[in-house]
């Protein structure tokens, strides 16, 4: 059928992030669409997120274990085939165990030959040091493969999107917590980042993206900005995801470009 998105049966897509929940917030809709098309979607997390906020009844020393379980629940919601959780130290990903993490990424790419790799851009979405550390590690690993590298895509967020979401939630009576993810200044999302070069329509996957986000209950808690979005607002703010393809030598695969509207 003309204009149909090609099937991806037998192909592997690798998404590399810092913590459980990054995958759902950053590009859960795209991962769900790729899975729907037959791709084996693998999410690699550098850490268990053991130093994250704890919005639920979980002791600090059990938080990493709880977040690992949440990651697997989110994977089921999104159709992710495989989760690889490493134990690099949360909060230190720019500096700790750099060589080891590079080697882990390279080993996966060489063994599984993914058709695409997805990760943070140089801004880490909102200048989170761990996110920037993952960007640096993934870029280094992929570039080292030269012309045989898979195409590398950076998740981006246009400025203004997160402030709108937060402002809408505040208008509905939501109060940002004193600490944790939602205490971040919303204007930092997309600030000074390179602009996106592709937008992917994930409107039909929004319910699954929300399910993935909500699966990370220790980080989201109750009453967070996404918890009571109307279907119209959910499609408006979560129904499109943005990427930029790395300008480096690589194989000619165009998996994400084929999803673009």
Confidence band of 209 (pLDDT split at 50, 70, 90) = very high
Condensed to tens digits (0 to 9), the pLDDT of residues 111-137 reads: 999 999 999 999 999 889 999 999 999
- The pLDDT value recorded for residue 54 is 61
Instruction: Assess whether pLDDT exceeds 80 at residue 69.
Output: yes
- The pLDDT value recorded for residue 178 is 66
What mean pLDDT is predicted for residues 33-37?
98
Name the residue with higher pLDDT: 156 or 53.
156
CATH number, domain of 168, equals 3.40.50.10320
- The pLDDT value recorded for residue 133 is 97
Is residue 18 in some structural domain?
Answer: yes
- The pLDDT value recorded for residue 82 is 98
Of 55-64, 87-96, 246-255, the range with the lowest mean pLDDT is 55-64
Of 40-49, 53-62, 132-141, 154-163, the range with the lowest mean pLDDT is 53-62
Is residue 118 in some structural domain?
Answer: yes
Is residue 6 in some structural domain?
Answer: no
Is residue 73 in some structural domain?
Answer: yes
Is residue 3 in some structural domain?
Answer: no
Paired residues of 120 in beta bridges: 155
Alpha-carbon dihedral angle through residues 167, 170, 172, 176, given to the nearest 10 degrees:
130
Instruction: Assess whether pLDDT exceeds 60 at residue 57.
Output: no
Q: How many domains does the chain have?
A: 1
Confidence band of 34 (pLDDT split at 50, 70, 90) = very high
What mean pLDDT is predicted for residues 215-224?
76
Is residue 7 in some structural domain?
Answer: no
Range(s) of the domain holding residue 131: 12-246+254-259
Is residue 173 in some structural domain?
Answer: yes
Is residue 131 in some structural domain?
Answer: yes
CB-based contacts of 116, cutoff 8 Å, min separation 6? 13, 14, 150, 151, 152, 153, 253, 255, 256
Count how many residues are written for the chain: 261
Distance CA 23, CA 76 (A): 12
Query: Where is mean pLDDT largest: 75-79, 178-182, 230-234?
Result: 75-79
- The pLDDT value recorded for residue 229 is 77
Q: Are 6 and 258 in contact (CB under 8 A)?
A: yes
């Amino acid at each position: 059928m003309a204009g149909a998105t090609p099937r991806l049966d037998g192909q592997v897509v690798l998404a590399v992030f810092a913590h459980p929940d990054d995958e759902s917030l950053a590009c859960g809709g795209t991962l769900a669409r790729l899975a729907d098309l037959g791709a084996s979607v693998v999410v690699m997390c550098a850490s268990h997120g053991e130093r994250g906020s704890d919005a639920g009844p979980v002791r600090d020393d059990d938080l990493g274990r709880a977040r690992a379980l949440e990651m697997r629940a989110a994977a089921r919601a999104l159709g992710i085939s495989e989760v690889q959780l490493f134990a690099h130290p949360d909060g230190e990903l720019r500096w700790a165990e750099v060589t080891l993490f590079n080697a882990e990424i390279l080993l996966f790419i060489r063994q599984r030959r993914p058709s695409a790799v997805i990760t943070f851009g140089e801004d880490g979405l909102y200048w989170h040091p761990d996110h920037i550390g993952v960007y640096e590690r993934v870029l280094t690993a992929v570039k080292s493969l030269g012309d045989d590298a898979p195409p590398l895509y950076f998740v981006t967020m246009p400025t203004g999107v997160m402030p709108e979401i937060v402002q809408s939630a505040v208008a509905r009576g939501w109060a940002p917590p004193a600490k944790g993810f939602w205490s971040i200044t919303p204007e930092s999302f997309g600030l000074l980042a390179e602009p996106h070069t592709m937008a992917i329509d994930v409107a039909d996957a929004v319910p699954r993206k929300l399910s993935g986000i909500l699966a990370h209950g220790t980080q989201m808690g109750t009453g967070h900005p996404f918890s009571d979005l109307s279907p119209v607002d959910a499609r408006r703010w979560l129904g499109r995801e943005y990427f930029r393809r790395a300008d480096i030598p690589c194989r000619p695969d165009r998996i994400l470009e084929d999803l673009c509207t």
